[in-house]
């Protein structure tokens, strides 16, 4: 048994050794971006290629100013030529190629071609690029010695209630932990929280956190996030501080089915109510006949059907309806009912007998 196990273990070990370097190198290699040329003027174009990205990932390509690959896009997307950006989807191996028109960013150079994922796990890469004829200025110095860095993954706390099911604005709390990696304390930092839907740019809102973070210290931050009424679908919550995006958190918002149910009920109830009101109005205005035909009464039907004897109450009803039908108060000597007759002595058809004188 031991002789059988040793070859099996050796085979598994060789397979692991053959797969480990490739997997480690694939995981360690960050996504990269290459340009067909490092400088071009406005109106021209540059071909952007990349590899090492997530397969079938949607990317956004922009030309941004006041940025270098070492620090990234310090001014955020506000320092990029957003109107002239291009979107591209990577292939099954994480590669892409796209032609990008050259446009001047809203801030001076140094400039980069910035490539970042739109959805899912965050990934980005920059390549140095010079826009010919565009102003070049030194990067702004950091006025504060304090710098914040996100230490933990962000998360969204909270849940949707019954009102959200009927179209109320969905709300969550963005929770994360930051640390001060600078040399001076950071007092009352102002964060920017943005929400974006699909490929649209986020809408930023400034939110100030009250407190002081000393150098080397950390703090747990909670910021409220709220969407518009009736919002549904896949959203992304972004966190920005000092002009740089620090974290992104996906947020899947369910459809408010209560609103759909409400409109279905409205489409069913309103026509039914209108129909009832219309029928009531028609019933009021239509002419009514003064006399109605009477059907055959049950006692009369009982008399006409052979073999069917009416009850006593039926006889009284017939008697009240037919005045000439008046049965005798008692049976005749033969034990049967007879029609009325006249036994008066003054009848001209009855002879008068005379007795002996």
Q: What b-and-e string marks burial along 271-284, b requiring 16 or more CB atoms within 10 Å of the CB?
A: eeeeeeeeeeeeee
**Contact at 8 Å (CB) between 248 and 239?**
yes
C-alpha gyration radius of the chain: 49
At 121 the pLDDT is: 77
In whole angstroms, give the CA distance from residue 77 to residue 73. 8
Residue bearing the bigger pLDDT, 227 or 353: 227
- Nearest to 230, CA basis, from 311, 170, 188, 303: 170
For the chain, the residue count is 357
Share of the chain above pLDDT 70, in %: 71
- Distance separating alpha carbons of residues 326 and 339, to the nearest angstrom: 8
In this model, does residue 267 exceed pLDDT 50?
yes
Alpha-carbon 236 to chain mean position: 15
* Average pLDDT over every residue of 40-49: 93
> 257, 162 in Cβ contact below 8 A?
no
Check pLDDT > 80 for residue 66.
Answer: yes
**pLDDT of the residue at 34:** 94
Share of residues in the chain with pLDDT > 90 (%): 30
pLDDT digits (tens, 9 = 90+) for 156-203: 998 887 888 888 889 999 999 999 988 888 888 889 999 988 777 788
Region of 316 (left: φ > 0; alpha: ψ -120 to 50; beta: rest) is alpha
pTM: 0.47
pLDDT over 90 (residue 223): yes
Spatial distance between the Cα atoms of 185 and 182, rounded to a whole number of angstroms: 8
Per-residue pLDDT at 2 exceeds 70? no
* Mean pLDDT, range 298-310, rounded to an integer: 54
CA 233/CA 197 separation, integer angstroms:
8
pLDDT band at 270 (very low <50, low <70, confident <90, very high): confident
pLDDT digits (tens, 9 = 90+) for 330-356: 555 554 545 555 555 554 555 555 555
Query: In this structure, are residues 81 and 123 in contact, taking their beta carbons and an 8 Å threshold?
Result: no
Average pLDDT of the residues in 71-94: 87
Give dist(CA 103, CA 106) in Å, integer.
10
pLDDT at 22 over 50: no
Q: Which of 33-42, 112-121, 234-243, 280-289 has the highest mean pLDDT?
A: 33-42
Q: Which of 4-18, 47-61, 101-115, 251-265 has the lowest mean pLDDT?
A: 4-18
Q: Is the pLDDT of residue 46 over 90?
A: yes
């Amino acid at each position: 048994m031991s002789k059988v196990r040793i070859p099996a273990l050796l085979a598994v070990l060789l397979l692991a050794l053959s797969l480990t370097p490739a997997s480690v190198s694939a995981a360690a290699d960050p996504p990269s971006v290459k340009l067909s040329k490092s400088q071009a003027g406005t109106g021209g174009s540059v071909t952007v290629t990349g590899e090492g990205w997530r397969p079938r990932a949607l990317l956004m390509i922009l030309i941004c100013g006041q940025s270098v690959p070492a620090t990234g896009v310090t001014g955020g997307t506000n320092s990029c030529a957003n109107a002239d950006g291009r979107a591209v989807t990577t292939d099954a191996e994480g590669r892409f190629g796209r032609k990008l028109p050259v446009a001047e960013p809203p801030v001076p150079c140094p400039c980069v071609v910035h490539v970042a994922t739109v959805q899912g796990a965050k990934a980005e890469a920059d390549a140095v690029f010079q826009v010919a004829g565009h102003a070049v200025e030194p990067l702004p110095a950091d006025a504060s010695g304090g710098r914040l860095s996100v230490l933990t993954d962000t998360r969204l706390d909270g849940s949707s209630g019954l009102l959200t099911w009927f179209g109320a604005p969905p709300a969550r709390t963005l929770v994360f932990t930051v640390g001060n990696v600078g040399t001076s304390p950071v007092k009352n930092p102002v964060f920017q929280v943005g929400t974006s839907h699909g490929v649209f740019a986020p809408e930023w809102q400034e939110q100030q956190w009250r407190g002081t973070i000393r150098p080397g210290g950390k703090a747990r931050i909670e910021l409220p996030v709220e969407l518009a009424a009736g919002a549904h679908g896949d959203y992304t919550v972004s966190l920005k501080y000092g002009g740089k995006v620090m974290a992104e958190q996906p947020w899947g918002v369910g459809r408010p089915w209560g609103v759909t149910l409400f409109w279905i009920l409205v489409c069913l109830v309103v026509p039914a109510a209108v129909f009832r009101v219309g029928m009531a109005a028609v019933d009021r205005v239509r002419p009514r006949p003064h006399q109605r035909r009477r059907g055959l009464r049950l006692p009369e039907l009982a008399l006409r059907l052979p073999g069917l004897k009416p009850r006593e109450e039926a006889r009284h009803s017939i008697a009240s309806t037919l005045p000439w039908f008046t049965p005798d108060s008692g049976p005749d000597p033969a034990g049967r009912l007879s029609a009325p007759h006249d036994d008066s002595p003054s009848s001209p058809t009855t002879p008068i007998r005379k007795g002996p004188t």
